[in-house]
Amino acid sequence: MQTMVMPVSEDILRATRMDKGEMSAHMRAVKLYDAEALTLAQAANLCGLDTFAFLEVLAKAGVPVADYSEEELERELA
């Protein structure tokens, strides 16, 4: 297993109103969802949020929830 260390200042923790554990869980969940290693529900569960709350986390992080190719989007909208 690999370990990643990312320093987070107390100012950031206060601003986000998260403790280190929450911040770490959110960051892991976002990264794993973005890498398509977890489903939306799995990632939400990892950080202890419901799916809708996790969607907000993804939006704030700039992570797209739907990643359609142009052809897929045209098929969906047809």
* Alpha helices (runs of H) in the chain, residue ranges in sequence order: 10-16, 20-34, 40-46, 51-61, 70-77
Phi-psi region of 39 (alpha: psi -120 to 50; beta: other; left: phi over 0): beta
For residues 25 and 19, the answer to whether their CB atoms sit within 8 Å is: no
pLDDT of residue 69: 78
User: By C-alpha distance, which of 24, 51, 48 is closest to 40?
Assistant: 51
Helices 51-61 + 20-34 axis angle, to 10: 80
Q: Can you list the residues of the chain whose pLDDT is less than 70?
A: 1, 3-6
Q: Does the predicted model carry a pTM greater than 0.85?
A: no
pLDDT of residue 58: 93
Domain boundaries, the chain: 17-77
- Tell me: the pLDDT tens digits for 18-29? 777 787 888 889
pLDDT of residue 4: 65
